[in-house]
Structure 1
């Protein structure tokens, strides 16, 4: 998250709490850390949090997706935060290895993030084994937002509060059905997506209550290839929409029904119709 605060937010999820406590334990050390997790779970935020809790005098940031002429010669101790290490090219890995092997006191501490399992990449000869051992002394794995149901309401309230501060608003609240709509989504973009959805609802709010119509999920258009075409019957459009919504929710009928705005009974009846229509 762009404004996630691990100190301000009360965390109940066991895996996330373990990651936070281990981060605090390791922050003042020089151990190289690798933070692994899906896009949007908060890897970069945790990396910066660890840095703020450390004794490191300076921070350098290397984005492996777009290194942009990063000058390794300017690195002088401190902490090097490496974003998306799994995207590092062979040339970039070579430069990082040179940095890791410095013996003149200018070697930085490494705090890296990755969406992929680097150990698997090493086995597939996609990542240098020697570099892996240098940058991944300790692993921290962050869970998906979908797997943090116990924290969901706290996270929503936190983002809602911070979004209001950012945009000069106050007193906004989510209607019960708006929260239900948020809670029914499976959040493929994790906390980053939740942050985007809530911030948009705050910006567009016309009164103190944010209703369900303000909760918009762009991921529906991005993740669902709904191949509608002119001349298609309404029943066929309905069928494709229902089946692809089920696919998006990993066949969770309750969530699919909530997203479609129909009852679970109606959804069940529709699915039975589709089965009966199969020759």
Structure 2
């Protein structure tokens, strides 16, 4: 997220409160942390928050989706933030293992983020088991926005205030109908999507009131490479869609079933079929 502040926001949701408290407890340690959750829930913001609460001298950032220009030789202690660790190539995993094994005092503290369950990738031999154990000493799982109803109004108010400051505005507020429109959306893009929706409303506001007509949603599913092609059977399309939706939701079957519009029982039966066929 672009401007989320874990200190400024009052958190009431029990799971998120526990995540924040554990983050503060671990900030001053050297333990390697793995932050897991759907796209847009705030993994990178939490990672940076943990860094600011630590005594680390410097922060290095490695994006596993675009790691070609990263120079491992310049890493000298400090903290290494690894974004989208689940997307690390074999070569990048090998480079990270070399960094983990440094014994010359230049080994950094590792804080990683992942959308997918790395344990599942280890079982599928897509991720090094030894690297997993080194980088995932402590897991922190961030809940999706739809599951944080206790915090929703606080989050909306915070983002609305920050958006106004960013764009040189003040005095804007949501009408009851505007808030209801926000509150009934399921937020597939989580807090990042909420930021986008509210910032657009602030920028386009013609009066001090933001009503439902100013709330525009874009139901975009991020980073799903649905490699469908004409002539492909419906069963194959269904299988790929189910598998990739599970990847998007970090193997959260309940969430995947909701996104697919099927029951959890139907999803479970489909996965059992794929296992018997040797697909999973």
Q: Normalization by structure 2: what TM-score? A: 0.79
1:185 aligns with 2:185: yes
In the alignment, which residue of structure 2 is the partner of 1:128? 128
In the alignment, which residue of structure 2 is the partner of 1:84? 84
1:176 aligns with 2:176: yes
- Deviation of the 1:221 alpha carbon: 9.4
Point out 4+ residue stretches in structure 1 off by more than 6 angstroms: 220-223
1:52 aligns with 2:80: no
SS in 2 for 1:61: strand
Cα 1:182–1:108, aligned 2, differ >3 Å: closer, same or farther? same
1:37 aligns with 2:37: yes
Rounded to whole Å, the distance in 2 between the matches of 1:55 and 1:14 is 27
Contact 2:188 2:221 in 1 (8 A): no
Q: Normalization by structure 1: what TM-score? A: 0.79
Point out where structure 1 has 5 or more consecutive residues left out of the alignment. 224-246, 252-279
In the alignment, which residue of structure 1 is the partner of 2:208? 208
In the alignment, which residue of structure 1 is the partner of 2:155? 155
* Total equivalences in the alignment: 228
Contact 1:59 1:79 in 2 (8 A): yes
Contact 1:33 1:137 in 2 (8 A): yes
1:94 aligns with 2:94: yes
Greater gyration radius: 1
The root-mean-square deviation of aligned C-alpha atoms, in Å, is 1.6
SS in 2 for 1:31: coil
Contact 1:186 1:249 in 2 (8 A): no
Rounded to whole Å, the distance in 2 between the matches of 1:168 and 1:64 is 35
Point out where structure 2 has 5 or more consecutive residues left out of the alignment. 225-257, 263-280
Q: Trace 1:110-149 onto structure 2 (pairs within 5 A).
A: 110-149=110-149
